[in-house]
Amino acid sequence: MLKLGLIYLFLFFKLITHGQSNPTCSCEGLVDTEYKGLVNVYDKPNGTVKAQLKHDLKNEDYLVFKIEETLHDYFRMTISYSINGKLVSGWVKKAKYLGTYPRAYSEPLQLYSKPDNTSTVTSIINPEDEKIAQILRCVTGWTYIRIEIKGQIKEGWLSSSDQCTNPYSTCN
């Protein structure tokens, strides 16, 4: 009986710790079109580089991605070229050039303290603040972003419907 109880306890703690260290998500983004460096794709966090990608500037074929999981300083993602469709899956270290554009076209957007539009508003992004926001975390339907506007850092949760991840369009 004690042995069975210990097994259940072990499985319970394994389930809890796995859920906390590997939150899953589903959000999209793009590599900043101004970024000219390489994006290293790893086989695992702190692992071996399995691919190095960069924008194909000659053909205006930009990198976009879908984040599937976060783990500390890494995103597990599928990253692909917008035009030719070539894709690679793996782990990418979080960086300022991995982002999304807020869709603040005619009215200000609100950033929230939690991934819920009934939570406290932490910041406002105005329509004239057209720049890429760094993705820090995500949960399905929401992305936690950081954006610097006129020397001021703004952070908070942004709904997927308020984001543009198309490198060729303003998503109007």
| Per-residue confidence (pLDDT) for residue 20, from 0 to 100 | 42
Written as six digits, the tokens of 137 are 């975390």
| CB burial readout 49-78, b (16+ within 10 A) else e | eebebebeeeeebbbbbbbeebeeebbbbe
Residue type, 46: N
pTM for the predicted model, two decimal places:
0.83
| Per-residue confidence (pLDDT) for residue 128, from 0 to 100 | 82
CA 142 – CA 93 distance, rounded (Å)? 20
| Per-residue confidence (pLDDT) for residue 133, from 0 to 100 | 95
| Per-residue confidence (pLDDT) for residue 74, from 0 to 100 | 97
Domain boundaries, the chain: 23-164
| Per-residue confidence (pLDDT) for residue 33, from 0 to 100 | 94
Residue 127: partners with Cβ closer than 8 Å, 6 or more residues away? 104, 105, 106, 107, 108
| Per-residue confidence (pLDDT) for residue 5, from 0 to 100 | 40
Written as six digits, the tokens of 160 are 């997927």
What residue ranges of the chain have pLDDT lower than 70?
Answer: 1-23, 170, 172
HSE value, Cβ hemisphere, 13 Å, CA-based, for 151: 0
| Per-residue confidence (pLDDT) for residue 114, from 0 to 100 | 95
| Per-residue confidence (pLDDT) for residue 138, from 0 to 100 | 92
User: How far is C-alpha 42 from the chain's CA centre?
Assistant: 16
